[in-house]
Structure 1
């Protein structure tokens, strides 16, 4: 979630979540502390402090402090955006948003589709001069899967033989089929053929870790002076919760392609404040405040593009009244997504009547969303009927008190307030709103302590199974109490089936089942809408993937 990208935050509210989750995107974030007073430092003086004369320095906003620069832990948009420019995995999304060579210059795939042999570049080095070796990947991936790490990204590695059993404490690290054949050759064995495995590997969770550095200092990722990078940039400075600066990495194998000298990331979590900073030249990119969308959206300095992700609300099936499917459906059908998209979020976002965002091409060449159609309609009359039926089934004369919880941000608040009005108008149900700071909110949602709560998902890799697999039994991303053997089987088949048409049919059915059970209600799909200052070019904003500054430039 997932995009500058956190610039996307107010629009796609990034997000986080996580993967996210993905992960959750970074829309769920701590707001910046605001003041009515402005210090008397001039803009020129401020720029002189951060920018050396003659250097190309891009000024961006990360919204809030990254969760972690340990690739196994920073499983959210606010960590991914800087990390994807500090580090590089075996594969990297190219300028066409396809999984292409990264640290691995080539690879071989066995005839049965199970064994991948990656050949690492001889000139791939860490920022401290160490060579990037196969053991760095073995170390990093087993660290991610180690149960003690408690990585939210570990499920992504379950395609690898032995990974799931190790992560679930039913096997050992020796069972994980990731082997350093020699310094520059890595072998990976999968549990089943996985045609999108190279896309999975573009996720920052699969970045390598310099095993020698990490063995000497387990907190290597926590400060700029101990961080080692293998990507286009290195971490020059990090003033926690204030700003971080990344600089061109001379040890990067493709350093000649990197045009920027530095990138300065501010941490401002207020839509209007970051827009004002853009207007004053303190930021080179910004999101458009929703109230200014109509006057700015058609400007020549606006980048608009698709973005794979979803804003949605989770029902907690372990708390009343949402143990009842008809009551869950009633709340979903009472929500006017078109109104939220057009008048609340704005910026050209699309209302979501299904869970899988547009942009995934089926084997027949059609869009997944077009094939599976609208699954969660706006139907207030049906909503009233379902609410009455659900209450009768549960023996309710009146509903238990309902609290809708969201993480603190101006956009999240606006959407929640719109939904609150719709529930009163369409269901005659009063819902209490509660906002929580991101850290508190994320933990409470994970622990099933929230009754009805806001979520966001930014695709971790380029396949529709990514979102759907979040709701299998015991998934870290489930966060609803939902468990269905039928659903789990559909997802297992959707991962492993080698016939493309058959595989997509499993995914179509899985999404329909998710909509029928209504354990979560979709709100709107994300898009990328970014204001760019004159002279800024080359920023890659992948529809499904990560913000990439490798080819960015500033005149």
Structure 2
């Protein structure tokens, strides 16, 4: 432990120096399809223009971190895309100020007695930013586009609750089999495979946003530039300088435009915690995250927002590669990690160490929290870690382990956690681990293709149910990225989705999480939270635990 604390002291010294020298050439840390960076909004705006009546515009300066992966709702399945999309577009339902699914494009809906058929009634006054009416066919087009196997949408699995969706996406069915119907221009009917109590919440995810089908048919690249982008949310995309800045303006065609108080939102793309903090201090940003080395100094300030943010930082083992094809060796690495020290000394900002996979905050049918009910599934136990390592090496006939390479996507915080892990594996297992960082696009592709031996990940909830994280590891899931396949696990997840007895459904989910811990195909590190500095006068930003924020009610005085 003494060795580890000395490393931390050296690391923090380097980070303080970096705070004085950081520039805009900072590395890119994406919040990938499952992983957000907990850094939040901020931006670079030189001056605020006046409105037509001569009053000063309300311009909020925010930071998106990096370029969105895509503003196509079916493709941009990550936090750096979700945050812009959730303010440029709107689905049938929208998370309200209590983070519950409420009316969005749909002003009401009917649910059949068997819980399978949902009939949505669209608002008469809901329009696209180009003035076109939003119609039911826009949802049919968007959802079938998401599910089309040629689209290769990373979000397609979310649509599997709809009858015929999985068959179409897997190539075993057709688009006609997907049971969504535009009954008329303002009525949409959706039939599910099985009753799904969280379906309305699921529909708040940007993957289920509509697409103006006429615009998309005329120009498949409608979402790539500000000039062609068409949305239906509180704001519209005025300009987009790729990798530099996006500017939103209030959408006068939005059905609830009177609620929107901001005139403009500027999103910078600054992916360095110290740089964005310096911008906040100089007034260039209205919000910023707290750099870890300044957490003790700033965390208790009056201008700090602290809230829940459902998700997990974890590391995946590639079980198709040596030595992590061996379960005991995987467990050795997992039990050698002191998560409490990483949370308190490395990440800081009040985050909690993760001893399970499903984050706190999911209330069971009996009123208990999922995390409390299933307890600690992996802990820090160096002696047990050593025993697992010895057992695994004996099973494989190893005198020494093959080379271990731990890969993370480039960012200062990811580097700090990776270096802490490297030290712990050396101290508690006697294993030398090589670190490698990759820029996001390279990293994401390599992880998906099982080219990385041991790699960083994190997951931000797509919807409010514990099955959301657990379903990531079913066979052939886009989100799996470990090589893991188990018919038993797949069956547990299927039951965890379709079982109508809620208490029994949760029992299947508890069992599935315990199986993940037993197989240890991934090791949890810490849960996410939201810690944001806000400038004076900023109010009304909704930061939903599910993984995206909402500026519909935001204000700046």
TM-score tier by shorter-chain length is: over 0.9
Q: In the alignment, what sits opposite 2:143?
A: 141
Contact 2:60 2:286 in 1 (8 A): yes
Contact 1:60 1:285 in 2 (8 A): yes
Q: In the alignment, what sits opposite 2:17?
A: none
Could you tell me how far apart the structure 1 residues matched to 2:476 and 2:51 are? 48
Contact 1:233 1:249 in 2 (8 A): yes
Aligned partner of residue 365 in structure 2, secondary structure: coil
Q: In the alignment, what sits opposite 2:541?
A: 539
The number of aligned residues is 526
Could you tell me how far apart the structure 1 residues matched to 2:500 and 2:284 are? 50
Q: In the alignment, what sits opposite 1:461?
A: 463
Where in structure 2 are the equivalents of 1:374-413 lying within 5 Å? 374-413=376-415
Could you tell me how far apart the structure 2 residues matched to 1:243 and 1:493 are? 44
Q: In the alignment, what sits opposite 1:212?
A: 214
Q: In the alignment, what sits opposite 1:554?
A: 556
Q: 1:17 aligns with which of 16, 32, 48?
A: 32
Could you tell me how far apart the structure 1 residues matched to 2:499 and 2:488 are? 16
Could you tell me how far apart the structure 1 residues matched to 2:126 and 2:404 are? 54
String of CA shifts for 1:343-396, please: whole Å, max 9, x gaps: 000000000000011111011111111111000111000000000000000111
Contact 1:16 1:28 in 2 (8 A): no
- The Cα shift of 1:49 comes to 7.4
Q: In the alignment, what sits opposite 2:311?
A: 309
Could you tell me how far apart the structure 1 residues matched to 2:120 and 2:226 are? 30
Contact 1:51 1:57 in 2 (8 A): no
Could you tell me how far apart the structure 1 residues matched to 2:471 and 2:335 are? 24
Q: In the alignment, what sits opposite 2:449?
A: 447
Contact 2:236 2:251 in 1 (8 A): yes
Q: Are residue 325 (structure 1) and residue 327 (structure 2) matched?
A: yes
- The Cα shift of 1:544 comes to 1.7
Q: In the alignment, what sits opposite 1:155?
A: 157
Could you tell me how far apart the structure 2 residues matched to 1:552 and 1:76 are? 22
String of CA shifts for 1:371-423, please: whole Å, max 9, x gaps: 11000111000000000000000111110000000000000000000000000
Q: In the alignment, what sits opposite 1:438?
A: 440
- The Cα shift of 1:17 comes to 2.4
Could you tell me how far apart the structure 2 residues matched to 1:26 and 1:132 are? 33
Q: Are residue 47 (structure 1) and residue 58 (structure 2) matched?
A: no
Could you tell me how far apart the structure 2 residues matched to 1:214 and 1:48 are? 34
Contact 1:28 1:408 in 2 (8 A): no
Q: In the alignment, what sits opposite 2:427?
A: 425
Q: Which runs of 5+ in 2 are unaligned?
A: 1-27
Could you tell me how far apart the structure 2 residues matched to 1:28 and 1:89 are? 25
Aligned partner of residue 35 in structure 2, secondary structure: strand
Could you tell me how far apart the structure 2 residues matched to 1:349 and 1:95 are? 24
- The Cα shift of 1:546 comes to 1.8
- The Cα shift of 1:48 comes to 4.9
Where in structure 2 are the equivalents of 1:169-208 lying within 5 Å? 169-208=171-210
Could you tell me how far apart the structure 2 residues matched to 1:49 and 1:148 are? 44
- The Cα shift of 1:14 comes to 7.7
String of CA shifts for 1:458-479, please: whole Å, max 9, x gaps: 0000111000000000000000
- The Cα shift of 1:545 comes to 3.9
Contact 1:14 1:27 in 2 (8 A): no
Contact 2:48 2:59 in 1 (8 A): no
String of CA shifts for 1:62-113, please: whole Å, max 9, x gaps: 0000010000000000000010000000000000100011000100111111
Could you tell me how far apart the structure 2 residues matched to 1:270 and 1:434 are? 18
Contact 1:404 1:452 in 2 (8 A): yes
Where in structure 2 are the equivalents of 1:279-290 lying within 5 Å? 279-290=281-292
Q: In the alignment, what sits opposite 1:530?
A: 532
Contact 2:49 2:56 in 1 (8 A): no
String of CA shifts for 1:485-522, please: whole Å, max 9, x gaps: 11001000000011110011010000000000000000
String of CA shifts for 1:296-343, please: whole Å, max 9, x gaps: 000000000111000000000000000000000000000000000000
Could you tell me how far apart the structure 2 residues matched to 1:28 and 1:471 are? 27
String of CA shifts for 1:130-172, please: whole Å, max 9, x gaps: 0000000000001101111100000000000111111111111
Could you tell me how far apart the structure 2 residues matched to 1:14 and 1:125 are? 35
Contact 2:408 2:438 in 1 (8 A): yes
Q: In the alignment, what sits opposite 2:300?
A: 298
Aligned partner of residue 467 in structure 1, secondary structure: helix
Q: In the alignment, what sits opposite 1:60?
A: 62
Q: Which runs of 5+ in 1 are unaligned?
A: 1-12, 33-42
Q: 1:251 aligns with which of 228, 250, 253?
A: 253
- The Cα shift of 1:15 comes to 5.6
Aligned partner of residue 408 in structure 2, secondary structure: strand
TM-score with structure 1 setting the length:
0.93
Aligned partner of residue 31 in structure 2, secondary structure: strand
Q: In the alignment, what sits opposite 2:499?
A: 497
- The Cα shift of 1:446 comes to 0.1
Identify if the C-alpha distance between structure 1 residues 268 and 15 changes in structure 2 by more than 3 Å, giving closer, same or farther. Answer: closer
- The Cα shift of 1:28 comes to 11
Could you tell me how far apart the structure 1 residues matched to 2:372 and 2:319 are? 30
Q: In the alignment, what sits opposite 2:75?
A: 73
TM-score with structure 2 setting the length:
0.93
Could you tell me how far apart the structure 1 residues matched to 2:511 and 2:357 are? 12
Aligned partner of residue 351 in structure 1, secondary structure: coil
Could you tell me how far apart the structure 2 residues matched to 1:439 and 1:294 are? 33
